[in-house]
Amino acid sequence: MKIRLQIITALFSLITAAALLPGISASAAETPADGAVSAAHETDASVQQAADDAPAAEETDALPENQTAVLPDRPLLLPDGTYLLPDGSVFDPAYYAYQNQDVLRVFGDDPEVLLAHYLKYGKKEGRFPSNPVTETDKNGIPLTPGQTVTGQNALKKAISADEQLKAMGNGIPYRILCIGNSITRYGYNELWWGYWGMGATSREKDYFHILAGLLSFDYTVTAESLNYTMWESPELFGFTREASLPLLADSLKEPFDAIVLQFGENIHDPGNLSEEYRDLVSFVRNLQPSAQIVIIGDFWPNAAVERIERAVCRENGFAYVDLSDIRGKRYQLGVGAVVSGDDGQTHTVFNTAVASHPNDEAMRIIAQRIHAVLKKKTAPADPTAGTPASENQAAETPASEKPADGISEPETPVS
């Protein structure tokens, strides 16, 4: 899978960093993507699915002690997070990830993804699905967990996990572009430590990389991300929203199968946003007439902006990804969180604006919801309840929808 991450210009990086805190500039040097894609540990029930080669697991309650288990015809998710397989064996995602670091590095730690890898490749290579406590070598000496007598030679001949990832796409090309603010992509500076979505504790755990990984089970994916905050907050760059549109054209030269738009969190005054958002969508649609367009709702609640986004989705038949149920401290990175940077070091988050970004769990949910609507290939039903009086009419966000700390957006702008 090829992941090519972009940033408009070095000047854009510097100006974007300046939006974080006065006097702070971003490095224009980009760290190359390592090709790794990952999903977080849990699977959201509304979008849970496995790869085509691994039918989606069913969830089941534990059997009574006096009842005999009947082997399933497809993997069953058990209460302890393991899977009962049709051959009677048990697949333990945590064990499989720990014992197979090459797979973990490329495929990430999502249980469904690891299960699909085991069924397609791992079993043939002799990798164990769970701890082989009774396995012994030819002399009867117990093997270290993760070793296997028959698997030793098989693993030497196995193709690399990187090659397996490419093969899992079945050769069908798929190009996707995610355009947004710091939630989609940020840069390397004193407050953030890599070129990925702010809030994820490592590169492979932002929604963009997780989404690319999920798509890779059906396609050979080319995924690109772009920070385009200059449209969202043009006043920081000396632009108008209209004047910034031509700068987007270069990123839309090649045809894409899907384009994700993620804006709104840094828009403080909707102003003429209703017309300007439609201009943005028209600009993208004119250059990408065949692409499926998905619009992501706001992570920090902004009722006026969300009304416009929903209206644009209705008018154009676009899919809308609602984030209203994953707001608040539970889904925020939080002060004190530890982030693994592109520099190979770990860093602690102290800035409250950075801390308010979506954490790993929220990033996973965002990726899965986008993936779900991309798989459907059609826009979901209109998510709007009722008809708003006016799109641009400012509205007070209900207290129940505000994050637990009371903020609706970062105190310091983070682009």
Residue where the block lists tokens 């059997």: 63
pTM over 0.75: no
Tell me how many degrees the CA angle 329-335-338 measures, rounded to the nearest 5: 110
**Reduced to 3 DSSP states, what percent helix, strand and coil does the chain have, rounded to the nearest 5?**
35, 10, 55
CA-atom Rg of the chain in angstroms: 23
State how far the Cα of 91 lies from the Cα of 123, in Å rounded to an integer: 11
DSSP letter string over 185-235?
A: ---BSSS-BSSS-TT-SSGGGSHHHHHHHHHTTTSEEEEEEEE-HHHHSGG
Query: Which pLDDT belongs to residue 159?
Result: 52
Residue 106 reports pLDDT greater than 90: no
Is 391's pLDDT higher than 50? Answer: no
Contact between 80 and 73 (Cβ < 8 Å): no
Q: Across the chain, how many H-helices and E-strands are there?
A: 14, 12
Backbone angles phi, psi at 77, to 5 degrees: -80, 120
How many residues can be counted in the chain?
A: 415
CA–CA separation, 222 and 257 (whole Å): 10
Kindly indicate the confidence band of residue 168, based on its pLDDT and cuts at 50, 70 and 90. Answer: low
CATH for the 2-43+170-401 domain, from 3.40.50.980, 3.40.50.1110, 3.40.50.12280, 3.40.50.620:
3.40.50.1110
> Which range among 142-146, 332-336, 383-387 has the greatest average pLDDT?
332-336
Please give the span between the terminal C-alpha atoms of the chain, in angstroms, as a whole number: 28
Distance CA 277, CA 70 (A): 55
Domain ranges of the chain: 2-43+170-401, 52-166
Kindly report which listed range (25-29, 68-72, 262-266, 399-403) carries the lowest average pLDDT score.
Answer: 25-29
Q: Which has the closest alpha carbon to 120: 76, 167, 88?
A: 167
Percent over 90 (pLDDT), the chain: 41
Assign residue 302 a region: left if phi > 0, alpha if psi is -120 to 50, beta otherwise? beta
